[in-house]
Structure 1
Amino acid sequence: MAGNSQRRNRRTSNKKGMQVGSGGQRRRALEGKGPTPPASARKGHVKNRIANAKAKQSTGRPAPRRGGPKGTNELVLGRNSVVEALREGVPANTLYVQQYIDSDDRVRESIQLATDRGMNLMEAPRPELDRMANGLNHQGLVLQVPPYDYAHPDDLTAAAFDAGEDPLVVVLDGITDPRNLGAIVRSVSAFGGHGVVVPERRAAGMTAGAWKTSAGTAARTPVARAANMTRVLEAYKKAGLTVVGLAAEGEADLGDLEMLDGPVAIVIGSEGKGLSRLVGETCDIRVRIPMPGGAESLNAGVAAGVVLYETARRRG
């Protein structure tokens, strides 16, 4: 009843009682983690960047750098595509085969080639392959290709100089067809080039299609990737290379160009637009391929083969 102070658990005062302590946990939580490192050792600090730059200067040429973060795995789908990729030596790491697959010659050959190369063989139910293929027709075979390990543009010239050779590098300005890229890699390998440079964005990369077109030469011809092509060309010029741009409106004919027998970077533009403005302005000279037959232009892969042949001929 009201005013009855004898009721059990009834609060009769507004004052709080004694509270349970933290047992010193708060004091321990405030303990430091040791002395603050000097500015030169803190990543991102201006003094750290200066220290790193000085370290590079003191050790000579910096260690080879890779061309940026890797992408995601590529999947080759379908029996014809998979067996052709395996025949051409595309660097795959896993072959997925559907459970209870209706086998034929392509399936048997794919499994045999994957086994001979020591690849992972995985049997998977059809729903799992459907999920991997994102609804596309895989015909029971899915080949996983790891991301290509791109070189840094400096690696190509460094390897040539280390071998006592004049660098011959092909720089691609916006080539979007992987088959053209593969054909150019094949020509670079055939005519003694030291590598290919491609843009990081809005351009073809070393996909399984490019590997197939290269006919295996991509295994010994490095491909580098760059975020800024004009900076790469400026760096090549400082390293002693002559930057030659291939353009229909070039001021010189390919056959009249004497500088091809020295250190050179050959720049080839996209299939439709040619050289971009900034890249064209960075070139030391722009040359054209004489075409008495009257054709307006050549496929980028064919044009690269013509220029590389002329370069190899001049170098003897």
Structure 2
Amino acid sequence: MKKPKWVVAKEQAKRVAANETVWLFGIHAVRDALENPKRVKLRLVVTRNAMDKLADAIGKAGIEPEISDPRKFAAPLDPQSVHQGAALEVKPLDWGKIEDIALGGADDSGPPRIVLLDRVTDPHNVGAILRSAEVFGARAVVAMNRHAAPETGALAKTASGALERQPYVRVRNLADTMIALKDMGYLVLGLDGTAEQTIEQAVEGKRDRAIALVMGAEGPGLREKTLETCDSLVKIDYAGGFGSLNVSNAAAVALYASKG
């Protein structure tokens, strides 16, 4: 039997509404989100034990917590999620346009660094990259609207608070964004294991430049269009005959190696 139009419309509206919110989980991720004034906070589900640990942050956020039995946790999370008795429904953060972030005023972290991700879809990898980007003072991590890890609870938990501080900007076309950064004076370097020069060699005498580091997915690496758009291709120097790093580890090493 065909569903009435109003039923279909209502179901579609529910799906859209669900996609517009994110459930963050874990004590650390929830605390940082509660303390972030830019976060729109909708619903907080906690066990009594977690509420005690988050008492100060809950008070500052001004949100009424829902107390839940730890054996029947009320938040709609994956059963495998290590929520530690805390889950917070929020709206995704809006960091604005990458052009505005890239041209932002000078700060104490040195010349600007930006990380661009080409089809890196694992939320744990992206979360770890956000954490490294925050540690090394990058201005933003940029990914595509499609074929990229969305803002999720798993990503936030891996980022260990960095999601609330480090801009995670989504763009429609990565190559166009790379060209825009080049027009703004950025040196765009693509990480590729077959490159002839190391990061250190590529940035020699250019550490005072704004630099964008482009990371590809493990396995496929950078797409052809991405490779063509880079100013140079670089590799991470390694010892011995094994030179493969997880993309999140590679991002951390690249950020450190390119520091001004």
TM range (shorter): 0.7 to 0.9
Give the conservation status (yes or no) of the 8 Å contact 1:160–1:194: no
2:20 equivalent to 1:72: yes
Partner residue in 1 for 2:223 = 276
Partner residue in 1 for 2:165 = 220
Cα distance in 1 for residues equivalent to 2:87 and 2:145? 27
SS of aligned partner of 2:88: strand
Cα distance in 2 for residues equivalent to 1:111 and 1:82? 15
TM-score (norm 2): 0.74
Partner residue in 2 for 1:185 = 130
Give the conservation status (yes or no) of the 8 Å contact 2:28–2:161: no
Give the conservation status (yes or no) of the 8 Å contact 2:121–2:147: yes
Give the conservation status (yes or no) of the 8 Å contact 1:170–1:196: yes
Cα distance in 1 for residues equivalent to 2:56 and 2:108? 39
Cα distance in 2 for residues equivalent to 1:139 and 1:256? 45
State how 1:7-18 maps to structure 2 within 5 Å.
none
Cα distance in 2 for residues equivalent to 1:164 and 1:177? 28
Cα offset, 1:164, TM superposition = 11
Partner residue in 2 for 1:153 = 98
Residue range with higher mean Cα deviation, 228-237 or 157-166:
157-166
Cα offset, 1:169, TM superposition = 1.1
Partner residue in 1 for 2:30 = 86
Give the conservation status (yes or no) of the 8 Å contact 1:86–1:113: no
Cα distance in 2 for residues equivalent to 1:245 and 1:89? 32
Counterpart residue identity of residue 293, structure 1:
G
Give the conservation status (yes or no) of the 8 Å contact 1:88–1:212: no
Partner residue in 2 for 1:211 = 156
TM-score (norm 1): 0.62
Partner residue in 2 for 1:96 = 45
2:141 equivalent to 1:196: yes
Cα offset, 1:178, TM superposition = 1.8
Q: 1:287 aligns with which of 234, 253, 260?
A: 234
Cα offset, 1:292, TM superposition = 1.2
Give the conservation status (yes or no) of the 8 Å contact 1:168–1:194: yes
Cα distance, 1:144–1:253 mapped onto 2, change above 3 Å: same
Cα distance, 1:191–1:271 mapped onto 2, change above 3 Å: same
Cα distance, 1:136–1:255 mapped onto 2, change above 3 Å: closer
Cα distance, 1:164–1:221 mapped onto 2, change above 3 Å: closer
Give the conservation status (yes or no) of the 8 Å contact 2:20–2:92: yes
Cα distance, 1:191–1:181 mapped onto 2, change above 3 Å: same
Cα distance in 2 for residues equivalent to 1:285 and 1:109? 48
Cα distance, 1:141–1:291 mapped onto 2, change above 3 Å: closer
Cα distance, 1:116–1:182 mapped onto 2, change above 3 Å: same
Partner residue in 1 for 2:62 = 118
Give the conservation status (yes or no) of the 8 Å contact 2:115–2:212: yes
Partner residue in 2 for 1:176 = 121
Partner residue in 1 for 2:76 = 133
Give the conservation status (yes or no) of the 8 Å contact 2:50–2:85: no
Cα distance, 1:280–1:121 mapped onto 2, change above 3 Å: same
Residue range with higher mean Cα deviation, 196-205 or 147-156:
147-156
Partner residue in 1 for 2:5 = none
Q: C-alpha deviations, 1:221-272, integer Å up to 9, x for none?
A: 2222100001001111111111100011113122212234412111011122
SS of aligned partner of 2:117: strand
User: What CA RMSD, in Å, does the superposition of the two structures yield over aligned residues?
Assistant: 3.3
Partner residue in 1 for 2:7 = none
Gaps of 5+ in 1: 1-69, 98-102
Cα distance, 1:95–1:111 mapped onto 2, change above 3 Å: farther
Partner residue in 2 for 1:242 = 187
Q: C-alpha deviations, 1:248-305, integer Å up to 9, x for none?
A: 1113122212234412111011122111111111101100112113324111111111
Give the conservation status (yes or no) of the 8 Å contact 1:244–1:265: yes
Higher-RCO chain (CA-CA 8 Å, sequence separation at least 6): 2
Gaps of 5+ in 2: 1-17
Cα offset, 1:120, TM superposition = 3.2
Cα distance, 1:310–1:141 mapped onto 2, change above 3 Å: closer
